[in-house]
Amino acid sequence: MTTLRIAGGQVLRPDMTVERADVLIDQDDGTILAVGDVADADETLDASDGLVIPGLVNAHCHAAMTLLRGYADDKPLDSWLREDVWPVEAALTPEDVRAGTELGMLEMIKSGTTGFADMYFEVDEVAEAVEEAGLRARIGHGVVTIGKDEEVAREDFETSLAIAEEFDGAADGRITTAVMPHSLTTVGEEYLDDYISRTRDLGVPLHYHANETRDEVAPIVEERGKRPLEYAREKGMTGESDFVAHGVHVNTTEIDLLAETGTGVIHCPASNMKLASGMAPVQAMLDAGVTVGLGTDGAASNNDLDMFGEMRDAAMLGKLAANDASAVAAESVVEMATRGSATALGFDSGRIEEGANADLAVIDLSSAHLVPHHDLVSHLAYAARGSDVKHTICDGTVLMADREPLTLDEKSVTENAEKRAKELAERATE
Ligand SMILES: [Zn+2]
């Protein structure tokens, strides 16, 4: 057994208390062996002056969209997708997806994110990139059937199932999968009828966008006389392992439905604000017992993958939405970004405890904006930034030490992404 000791830091425990302790990791099986005073280990990583936290989990993301960062801003969801995003995505090559995913993961590692859910295409490239970067991910192929011939639409769904089957459990179990219909309005009912039961036979979760904008809710209510998530339940798309992105415009019936079925909701506050989609009733969902995780969505609607920014946005927006300054408190957003997201994604991560996955980050507490140290949970939610992360560890492997990424080459990843993004934009406007 090879062991790693995260030494001398303050540690955020699952009950949100902070104590000074070492964390001992079994690097062979990638789990936490002990928290407390531990004996010497094969390797030691210094965490004095630091706060050891569970690695953050970005539970809804399209990592390769980092190539579109700053490409098109300041438009509502529908026209932004149709006029800008989808045309450019149609010009993406597998190599572009690889480059964008690597850029996204570099950003995640540098900001303390150790796990994520990714909905995209060219997923074999995504899987290879995840394997190389050392992160934990639930990945899948996003299916859109509207505007497509039946044969092409069916091929798209078949791809999503095949990808889910092929890569589940890859990279020593760090990679898991889901079948990912894009949303309840961009995938036709006839396809849901055929493919959801096949997803269940495969035994993988479903992940889709739901109730993101009013424009997405209204047509379902008008056409079917029921709410989108009632429709989703009728189609067999809700359950303990399933998770939906956004859940902005959910009513009380849908909140109860989410809680009853155990379906996770991934809150994406920055994306919801930027696209003016609305304010999710996060505190009401938490009060009802819904599993709520946190995600950045794609970098084109955020525009970064920094989960610290997302925690702050979630707290701020949650208070506005509830018209209550005590709503969506610091502890709640830290919980959402760690255990909430991990639970929604089915990862045994998001908590620093014996037996859990050794997915951790160490925050440097010495910067001016993190002094004094009255309340470190408050700092995580309101004052810390991704650039405060000193070390990142996933599955017991050190992915970044003293801000130097070890699994991805920072220079070549950023240069390649810059070059490919430029060529992509030129191709898309030809
Ligand atoms: Zn999304």
- Measured in angstroms, how far is the CA atom of residue 208 from the centroid of ligand 1? 8
pLDDT in tens, 99-130: 999 999 999 999 999 999 999 999 999 999 99
Q: What is the mean pLDDT of the chain?
A: 97
- Measured in angstroms, how far is the CA atom of residue 211 from the centroid of ligand 1? 12
pLDDT band at 86; cut points 50, 70, 90: confident
The percent helix, strand, coil of the chain (3-state, each to 5) is 45, 25, 35
pLDDT band at 416; cut points 50, 70, 90: very high
- Measured in angstroms, how far is the CA atom of residue 297 from the centroid of ligand 1? 5
Q: Which two tokens stand for residue 85?
A: 């995003």
- Measured in angstroms, how far is the CA atom of residue 89 from the centroid of ligand 1? 14
- Measured in angstroms, how far is the CA atom of residue 301 from the centroid of ligand 1? 9
CA angle 174, 290, 375 (to 5 degrees): 80
| Dihedral (Cα; 323, 326, 327, 328), 10-degree rounding | 140
pLDDT in tens, 155-210: 999 999 999 999 999 999 999 999 999 999 999 999 999 999 999 999 999 999 99
pLDDT of residue 344: 98
pLDDT value at 244 more than 80: yes
Is 57:349 a contact under the CB 8 Å cutoff? yes
pLDDT value at 430 more than 80: no
pTM over 0.85: yes
pLDDT in tens, 299-357: 999 999 999 999 999 999 999 999 999 999 999 999 999 999 999 999 999 999 999 99
Bridge partner residues of 36 (DSSP)? 22
- Measured in angstroms, how far is the CA atom of residue 261 from the centroid of ligand 1? 22
- How large is the average pLDDT for residues 371-391? 98
Q: Which residue, 74, 16, 11, 56, is CA-closest to 37? A: 11
Dihedral sign computed on CA atoms, order 331, 332, 336, 339: positive
Q: Which residue, 69, 74, 120, is CA-closest to 98? A: 120
- Measured in angstroms, how far is the CA atom of residue 216 from the centroid of ligand 1? 14
* CA dist., res. 292 & res. 267, Å (int): 7
Dihedral sign computed on CA atoms, order 92, 97, 102, 107: positive
One-character DSSP codes across 359-376: -EEEEE--SGGG-S-S-H
pLDDT band at 55; cut points 50, 70, 90: very high
- How large is the average pLDDT for residues 65-91? 91
First-to-final CA distance of the chain: 56
- How large is the average pLDDT for residues 2-29? 97
* CA dist., res. 58 & res. 293, Å (int): 8
pLDDT of residue 214: 95
- How large is the average pLDDT for residues 226-246? 98
Is 347:270 a contact under the CB 8 Å cutoff? no
- Measured in angstroms, how far is the CA atom of residue 77 from the centroid of ligand 1? 11
Bridge partner residues of 246 (DSSP)? 210
- Measured in angstroms, how far is the CA atom of residue 191 from the centroid of ligand 1? 20
- Measured in angstroms, how far is the CA atom of residue 137 from the centroid of ligand 1? 15
pLDDT of residue 38: 87
- Measured in angstroms, how far is the CA atom of residue 422 from the centroid of ligand 1? 23
- Measured in angstroms, how far is the CA atom of residue 61 from the centroid of ligand 1? 6
- How large is the average pLDDT for residues 25-37? 96
- Measured in angstroms, how far is the CA atom of residue 314 from the centroid of ligand 1? 16
pLDDT value at 74 more than 80: yes
- Measured in angstroms, how far is the CA atom of residue 45 from the centroid of ligand 1? 35
Q: Which residue, 313, 395, 367, 365, is CA-closest to 12? A: 365
191 sits in which H/E element: helix 189-202
Is 111:308 a contact under the CB 8 Å cutoff? yes
pLDDT band at 429; cut points 50, 70, 90: confident
pLDDT value at 40 more than 90: no
- Measured in angstroms, how far is the CA atom of residue 298 from the centroid of ligand 1? 6
- How large is the average pLDDT for residues 263-270? 98
Residue in the block written with tokens 């006389």: 225
- Measured in angstroms, how far is the CA atom of residue 120 from the centroid of ligand 1? 9
The answer for 295, left when phi > 0, alpha when psi is -120 to 50, beta otherwise, is beta
pLDDT in tens, 267-285: 999 999 999 999 999 999 9
Strand, helix or coil for residue 130: helix
- The verdict on whether omega for the bond into residue 303 sits within 30 degrees of 0, i.e. cis, is yes
Distances (CA, A) of 338 to 24, 140, 305: 19, 21, 15
- How large is the average pLDDT for residues 385-401? 98
- Measured in angstroms, how far is the CA atom of residue 58 from the centroid of ligand 1? 12
- What is the bridge-based pairing of β-strands 31-36 and 18-26? antiparallel
pLDDT of residue 81: 87
DSSP 183: B
pLDDT of residue 275: 93
Strand, helix or coil for residue 262: coil
- Measured in angstroms, how far is the CA atom of residue 62 from the centroid of ligand 1? 6
